[in-house]
Amino acid sequence: MTQNPDTQHAQTPSLPAQYLPGEVEQRRYERWVAGGYFRADAHSDKPPFTIVLPPPNVTGSLHVGHALDHTVQDALVRRKRMQGYEALWLPGMDHAGIATQNVVERQLAAQGLSRHDLGRERFIERVWRWKEESGGAILGQMRRLGDSVDWDRERFTMDPGLSRAVQTIFKRLYDDGLIYRAERIINWCPRCLTALSDIEVEHSDDDGELVSIRYGEGENSIVVATTRAETMLGDTAVAVHPDDDRYRHLIGTEVELPLTDRRIPIVADEHVDPEFGTGAVKVTPAHDPNDFEIGQRHHLPSLVVMDERGVITVPGPFEGLDRFEARPAIVAALREQGRIVAEKRPYVHSVGHCSRCKTTIEPRLSLQWFVKTGPLARAAGDAVRDGRVRIEPPEMAKRYFAWVDNMHDWCISRQLWWGHRIPVWYGPEDEVVCVGPGEEPPSGEGWRQDEDVLDTWFSSALWPFSTLGWPERTADLAKFYPTSVLVTGYDILFFWVARMMMFGLYAMDGRQPFDVVALHGIVRDQHGKKMSKSLGNVVDPLDWIERFGADATRFTLARGANPGQDVPVSEEWCQGSRNFCNKLWNATRFALMNGAHVDGDLPAVDELPTIDRWILSRLQQVTAEVDEHFEAFEFAKVCDALYHFAWDDVCDWYLELSKPVLAAGGRAGEIRRRVLGHVLDRLLRLLHPVLPFVTDELWTALTGGETVMIAAWPTAAHELRDEAAESEVAMLQRVVTEIRRFRADQGLRPAQRVAARLDGLADAGIGEHESLIRALARLDEGGADFRASATLAVAGGVAVALDTRGAIDVAAERARLEKDLAAVEKELAQARAKLANPAFVEKAPEPVVAKVRERLANAEADLARITAALEALPA
């Protein structure tokens, strides 16, 4: 790193030349917490703005996806707080039943232990210890990210209060007939040894083989096709379509089931597709959901042929074999009997896997608890349909409807230990008593509580109101429900959002849990690939925070966050964000060194020079854009607008244009100091939601205020919009850029002073800025002795001539002019063609036509100017 020691000196700036996030972030966060700025007051008069944090699982630490989620929420909350809302961001964590239990079981396994070695009570104690450890790590990460959550209201899904909420709603649903217990086919994980809900099953296309097996003998035999030969031991029928002529004569007869001593009926069922396979289906009601339905319709018995680990239990040669060992063994045995008619391999079909451990799901007949989703799901769909709840982006609503409108009953019992125990007691005479909170469970001989716990999403579904104190009628609930925005990834739309809707509407008497669902995408790597340990492209947010700062990390994520779209990130982009923070740092540092300050009102507009009116006008425009984009959850656009305003307008132009007047001092200098202070003040406020740390550090240094956190959010002042100033500065910028390009083309080094005369500035309306133009383009006053000239292209048909005293590189200049000429001629041809088209002139809106006319005029003027310049070039 080259650094001129002389530049480090003199003014003894109070701020170092580089932004060093580490120390600043820690100090700032402690002050925010100590100042109580994160605390929300349920009794204030301010309008509420509420976000409940989607509770992270206590399974480890936060990943970069959480960092995105938190950044978005923090930005929303910080802005609303500045806007004067009573802003509550409520933090907490999820006990994450099966996921957490698996983590702890893996830890035990490493010591050669299983949960059964410890027993239920000691195992749960062990999980609680892990929860403290993991939870503590997560809280630390949230602080590092800068989350402005109300720590006094932190919740955990297994807190006593939230557990009461679980019991309360369970009891209420049970009494309303919306929770029931039944023997059904459920998704069973033979490794986790628990039932799973439909959405905890991931389907993938796996290779299998479809074998055709002849059941029965001779004329009355029938051939069935299956991918799961091992389940044939549990077959209790063969089904064919009632209209299938091939099999009509067999309906009502029985066939011998091979490898067993049983005979099974052939039944007719509409469900069978005559086109598929042989058109005859083996029916195994205990091991296939469709077959179960067929079995119900035809009163078939259900034979369970496997235990909970997927091991065959039918006495005989296959007993004790795992289901995947049994399959080839049974096929081999059948082949020996000459019963395998055809095999098709590989046959790709969809197979369900446990979302936690990837084990192949075994559909299994078992007695479980269910939520009857029909009425709840209908209400959840209607709330979105009638506009009470808005889903952003709206396209995602389609997915939501597709799901809530086709929802099966929800299996909520889990054969786990970590979670909310099902509040149901069974009596000695098979009595069933659902026990509400505060009620005494039945006691006495033979009574026992259900061993199972609830699906972890059952308690998550209560999160927007259980965290506010429900079922008590708390001040929090009155003030902060419904919550304002739910921010989460589209990947848990079904898992969580739909279920919060169902339970929220049910428990809160039809009041929705949130007004808006703002969905973001998944964080991916710089090539759009999903992050995974095996690809080695996982980003640890703490790593980035350490190296680039929390603000840079947040900015990188927010900058990629288009609604509902995945967010690609990379280390280089985070570096870029860090650089942006540093840019802000140095801009403010420059301003402070030059005496910029914030006090009182701005000078009257008519007293302001063009340059100030221009930057103030741009500021209003950006303020309006930022507000618009915030309201639309367009965080990428919020970041983009502020990035370009800060870097391009403020740093590259406004500060550069200000250097002469700041150096000169006087009244003009004083005005500039105040406007500069004002612009930075507002810019830092606008950036604060996304970049909380660096903006607070700079804003307090600039203004002497307490914290930018509670500074008022800027509103756009339309009276400060000034199109004349904007176009004047645009012209100035074009002239400066043209001269710089000429210099670059001519190989004139920046340090090389060039004496030159500028003509045409007054015609371009920027005559008063000549000295500024000279300063930015590094041109000295020219003498009379010009030997070469270059004429610069400028909009509006105005040419500004620049004559240099020294000889120029004629070839280079000619080449450039010829290139410009070609471009202008093309432009000219296009504009002429358009205007020559009567249909265009007639039908196109007037402003469009006017614009083309203007383009034509400009092009004509440019053509003349360039031609003249070419002719003026020495041969």
Partner RNA sequence: GGGCGCGUAGCUCAGUGGGAGAGCACUCGCCUUACAAGCGAGGGGUCGCAGGUUCGAAACCUGCCGCGCCCACCA
Site for RNA in 806-845 (CB under 7 A): 827, 830, 834, 837, 839-840, 843-845
Window 581-610: residues binding RNA (CB under 7 A): 581-583, 586-587, 589-590, 593
Window 422-481: residues binding RNA (CB under 7 A): none
- Site map (CB under 7 A) of RNA, residues 12-31, x = contact: -----xxxx-----------
Contact residue for RNA among 114, 313, 337, 737 (CB under 7 A) = 737
Q: Which two tokens stand for residue 126?
A: 């062990």
Handedness of CA 583, 585, 587, 590 (dihedral sign): negative
Instruction: List C-alpha distances in Å: 434 to 184, 458, 646, 776.
Output: 21, 17, 62, 80
What is the residue whose two structure tokens read 């062990």? 126
Binding segment for RNA (CB under 7 A), chosen from 140-148, 434-442, 653-661, 670-678, is 653-661
User: What is the distance between the alpha carbons of residues 848 and 216, in angstroms, rounded to a whole number?
Assistant: 81
Q: How far is the CB of 370 from RNA (least distance, A)?
A: 14
User: What is the distance between the alpha carbons of residues 634 and 560, in angstroms, rounded to a whole number?
Assistant: 10
860 binds RNA (CB under 7 A): no
Q: How far is CA 325 from the centre of its chain?
A: 43
293 binds RNA (CB under 7 A): yes
Task: Indicate the DSSP class of residue 53.
Answer: P
Q: How far is the CB of 337 from RNA (least distance, A)?
A: 19
The count of C-alpha atoms lying within 13 angstroms of the C-alpha of 171, restricted to the half-sphere facing its C-beta, is: 17
**Complex with RNA: residue 613 or 637, whichever CB lies closer:** 637
Window 491-550: residues binding RNA (CB under 7 A): 491, 494, 524, 526-528, 530
Q: How far is the CB of 552 from RNA (least distance, A)?
A: 8
Q: What is the DSSP string of 685-739?
A: HHHTTTSHHHHHHHHHHHH--S-GGGSPPP---GGG--HHHHHHHHHHHHHHHHH
User: What is the distance between the alpha carbons of residues 363 and 344, in angstroms, rounded to a whole number?
Assistant: 23
Q: How far is the CB of 161 from RNA (least distance, A)?
A: 31
Q: Which residues, at least 6 apart from 148, have a Cβ–Cβ distance to it below 8 Å?
A: 32, 37, 38, 74, 77, 78, 81, 89, 692, 709
Contact residue for RNA among 60, 242, 274, 603 (CB under 7 A) = 274
Contact (CB, 8 A) for 736 and 773: yes
Contact residue for RNA among 659, 757, 814, 832 (CB under 7 A) = 659
228 binds RNA (CB under 7 A): yes
User: Whose CA is closest to 67, among 638, 639, 627, 549?
Assistant: 549
Pairing of strands 754-759, 779-781: parallel
Binding segment for RNA (CB under 7 A), chosen from 82-90, 100-108, 265-273, 467-475, is 265-273
**Complex with RNA: residue 70 or 559, whichever CB lies closer:** 559
Binding segment for RNA (CB under 7 A), chosen from 428-436, 443-451, 596-604, 632-640, is 632-640
Binding segment for RNA (CB under 7 A), chosen from 286-294, 298-306, 335-343, 460-468, is 286-294
Q: Where in 220-354 does DSSP place strands (E)? A: 222-226, 237-240, 254-256, 263-268, 280-283, 340-354
Contact (CB, 8 A) for 732 and 772: yes
Q: How far is the CB of 594 from RNA (least distance, A)?
A: 8
Handedness of CA 199, 200, 205, 207 (dihedral sign): negative
Q: Which residues, at least 6 apart from 765, have a Cβ–Cβ distance to it below 8 Å?
A: 728, 731
Task: Indicate the DSSP class of residue 247.
Answer: T
Contact residue for RNA among 242, 437, 568, 765 (CB under 7 A) = 568
10 exposure class (CB count in 10 Å sphere: 0-12, 13-18, 19+): exposed
CA angle 630, 633, 638 (to 5 degrees): 50
Q: How far is the CB of 182 from RNA (least distance, A)?
A: 16
Q: How far is the CB of 7 from RNA (least distance, A)?
A: 4
323 binds RNA (CB under 7 A): no
Q: How far is CA 331 from the centre of its chain?
A: 48
554 binds RNA (CB under 7 A): no
Q: How far is the CB of 138 from RNA (least distance, A)?
A: 25
246 binds RNA (CB under 7 A): no
Q: Which residues, at least 6 apart from 326, have a Cβ–Cβ distance to it below 8 Å?
A: 230, 312, 318
Q: How far is the CB of 571 from RNA (least distance, A)?
A: 10
Q: How far is the CB of 43 from RNA (least distance, A)?
A: 42
Helix extents (H) in 412-467: 456-460, 463-466
DSSP H or E run through 52: strand 48-52
**Complex with RNA: residue 338 or 528, whichever CB lies closer:** 528
**Complex with RNA: residue 120 or 203, whichever CB lies closer:** 203
Q: How far is the CB of 823 from RNA (least distance, A)?
A: 9
Q: How far is the CB of 861 from RNA (least distance, A)?
A: 11
Q: How far is the CB of 517 from RNA (least distance, A)?
A: 15
Window 346-385: residues binding RNA (CB under 7 A): 349-350
Strands of the 410-411 sheet, one edge to the other: 194-196, 179-189, 362-371, 410-411
Contact (CB, 8 A) for 363 and 175: no
Handedness of CA 153, 158, 160, 162 (dihedral sign): positive
- Count the residues of the shown chain that bind RNA, applying the rule CB under 7 A: 108
Binding segment for RNA (CB under 7 A), chosen from 3-11, 49-57, 100-108, 433-441, is 3-11
**Complex with RNA: residue 114 or 737, whichever CB lies closer:** 737
Window 187-226: residues binding RNA (CB under 7 A): 198-199, 202-203, 205, 210, 224-226
337 exposure class (CB count in 10 Å sphere: 0-12, 13-18, 19+): exposed
**Complex with RNA: residue 88 or 331, whichever CB lies closer:** 331
Give the chain's count of helices (H) and strands (E): 27, 29
Binding segment for RNA (CB under 7 A), chosen from 10-18, 82-90, 336-344, 497-505, is 10-18
Contact residue for RNA among 103, 173, 267, 280 (CB under 7 A) = 280
Q: Which residues, at least 6 apart from 570, have a Cβ–Cβ distance to it below 8 Å?
A: 525, 526
771 binds RNA (CB under 7 A): no
Contact residue for RNA among 848, 857, 864, 872 (CB under 7 A) = 848
**Complex with RNA: residue 670 or 854, whichever CB lies closer:** 854
Contact residue for RNA among 572, 607, 781, 818 (CB under 7 A) = 572
**Complex with RNA: residue 565 or 707, whichever CB lies closer:** 565
Binding segment for RNA (CB under 7 A), chosen from 272-280, 428-436, 442-450, 667-675, is 272-280
Binding segment for RNA (CB under 7 A), chosen from 62-70, 309-317, 451-459, 575-583, is 575-583
Q: How far is the CB of 432 from RNA (least distance, A)?
A: 28
576 binds RNA (CB under 7 A): yes
Contact residue for RNA among 12, 14, 111, 406 (CB under 7 A) = 406
**Complex with RNA: residue 160 or 750, whichever CB lies closer:** 750
User: Whose CA is closest to 126, among 110, 115, 139?
Assistant: 115
Binding segment for RNA (CB under 7 A), chosen from 391-399, 451-459, 476-484, 686-694, is 391-399
User: Whose CA is closest to 127, among 26, 29, 59?
Assistant: 59
Strands of the 340-354 sheet, one edge to the other: 222-226, 201-215, 340-354
Contact residue for RNA among 56, 279, 689, 760 (CB under 7 A) = 279
User: What is the distance between the alpha carbons of residues 515 and 392, in angstroms, rounded to a whole number?
Assistant: 11
Q: How far is the CB of 676 from RNA (least distance, A)?
A: 11
565 binds RNA (CB under 7 A): yes
User: What is the distance between the alpha carbons of residues 16 and 20, in angstroms, rounded to a whole number?
Assistant: 8
- Site map (CB under 7 A) of RNA, residues 128-157, x = contact: ------------------------------
